[in-house]
Amino acid sequence: MNNLVIICAILLLVLLFLKVPVYIAVLSASAVYFIGTPGMNLSIFAQKTISGAEGLSLLAIPFFVCAGIFMNYTGVTKRIMNCCEVLTARMPGGLAQVNILLSTLMGGLSGSSLADAAMQCKMLVPTMESKGYSKSFSTVITAASGMVVPLIPPGVGLIIYGCINNISIGKLFIAGIGPGIVLCVTLMIFTHFLSKKRGYLPSRTTKIPVSEKIAAVRPAFLPLLLPIIIIGGVRIGVFTASEAGTVAIVYAVLLGLLYKELTLKNVMQGCKETVTTTASIMLIVAAATCFSWILTKEQIPQQFSQWMISNIHNKYVFLIMVNIFLLIVGMFIEGNASMIVLAPLLHPVAMAYGIDDIHFAMVYIFNCTIGAFTPPMGTLMFVSCGITKCPTKDFIKEAVPFYILFAIDIIVLTYIPQLTTFLVNVFY
């Protein structure tokens, strides 16, 4: 391996550990390579960086970000939350169950775990505390439920992974449904028993009339159709995954007009938030494309693949090592950052072992979501604690049982590939 590449990799990791913005860290490492390589034309550095943000499939990112933001301004969140409250009212830990179900249903609308966790910390945690739930439990369950969001289409992580590794984004959207449901169901079951143990009672003990359930579900019905429209439209070829984002925006605006809650001021504010959020994502993607070109030029993925195959002869052992490695990396580096650096290396190796590319993608993304929940640098943990003012040490202590649950989930997901591939095979 070129010594200069090793220096660039070390520089990149050091900058990421120092909390330097991801795109600056990646571009700095790439610039060192171009400057230090004799005869290298520096114009290639600019060309590869700019071309990284020009992929047509990347158009899905601003479109879905905009749609998610508009959904928050149209009263959709409030309607879905009311629906979740009625559906989970008789379960132990009623408000905690609302938290989990709301994240799962909103995951198909917002696409961002941090945005979802921040919203629910403001909306639900104060109510949970007033009902007797501890601050630490309320914060942990909100952060844990936010982990479902990147797995449910149209999660931004699914789009980025698909672009980096040249995988069908439509297939990734469908593949994410299985792991998302698994995480949601296991979280709700775990919360059920934990709430019974702690005395977190159901919101209601009397039977809820069918008419009341229908009245709660009806306002949420149209918003919940969006993921079905996106997946169905992509599958039957009405529009591509990128064009689905524009459909989502139009649908969000129509809902806003129908509910009479989308004002011109909200539209302007939503466009502003879309630009800032998209810019931060696209800078990372552009920088990552340049760095990936360096790795490919130096044949790092090929060398790494050959080394792994010559030393590890079993794909199941490889998957165990990948899970352990990604969980450790996730404790220190933000998920999208690690995906940009490591996915181009690990993806070809997984293919060499004969592992399904869609299955490995979901294993990778699920590991990233666990890392976001895990100290010392988990982004979901910091965002949630920052909003609720929960001490980090209390969060970590409360989260220990959840770490065990997620370890079981990742093992199940890793060794039962049908959870991710079944729906893909049915649709495609």
Instruction: Return the DSSP state at 133.
Output: -
Assign 80 to helix, strand or coil. helix
Which residue in 342, 377, 374 sits closest to 361, CA to CA? Answer: 342
CB 223 within 8 A of CB 81: no
* Dist. CA 148–CA 155, nearest whole Å: 10
Please list the rounded mean pLDDT of every run of 10 residues in the chain (428 residues). Answer: 78 78 83 85 83 72 79 77 81 85 72 70 82 88 87 79 84 88 92 87 80 84 80 76 80 85 84 83 78 78 72 86 83 71 84 90 89 76 82 88 92 91 84
Looking at residue 411, its pLDDT comes to 92
Which residue in 355, 363, 321 sits closest to 339, CA to CA? Answer: 363
Tell me the angle at which helices 177-198 and 94-110 cross, rounded to the nearest 10 degrees: 160
Looking at residue 124, its pLDDT comes to 80
Phi, psi dihedrals of residue 75, rounded to the nearest 5°: 80, 10
Q: What is the DSSP string of 212-271?
A: HHHHHHHHHHHHHTHHHHHHHHHHHTSS-HHHHHHHHHHHHHHHHHHHT---HHHHHHHH
Looking at residue 57, its pLDDT comes to 65
Looking at residue 412, its pLDDT comes to 92
Helix or strand run (H / E) with residue 48? helix 42-51
- The residue written with tokens 């933001």 in the block is 69
C-alpha separations of 268 from 7, 160, 273, 280, 386 in Å: 45, 26, 9, 19, 27
How is residue 84 written in tokens? 């979740």
Looking at residue 111, its pLDDT comes to 55
Looking at residue 58, its pLDDT comes to 72
CA–chain centroid gap for 336, Å, is: 9
How is residue 305 written in tokens? 């693949």
How is residue 282 written in tokens? 């696209």
Neighbouring C-beta atoms of residue 387, cutoff 10 Å: 17
CA dihedral 168, 174, 176, 177 (to 10 degrees): 180
* Dist. CA 236–CA 257, nearest whole Å: 28
Instruction: Return the DSSP state at 421.
Output: H
Q: What is the DSSP string of 181-219?
A: HHHHHHHHHHHHHHHHHHT---S--SPPPHHHHHHHHHH
Assign 363 to helix, strand or coil. helix
C-alpha separations of 359 from 138, 367, 425 in Å: 32, 13, 12
Q: Which string of b and e fits 388-425 if b means at least 16 CB within 10 Å?
A: bebeeebbbebbeebeebbeebbeebbeebebbbebbe
Q: Read off the amino acid at residue 223.
A: P
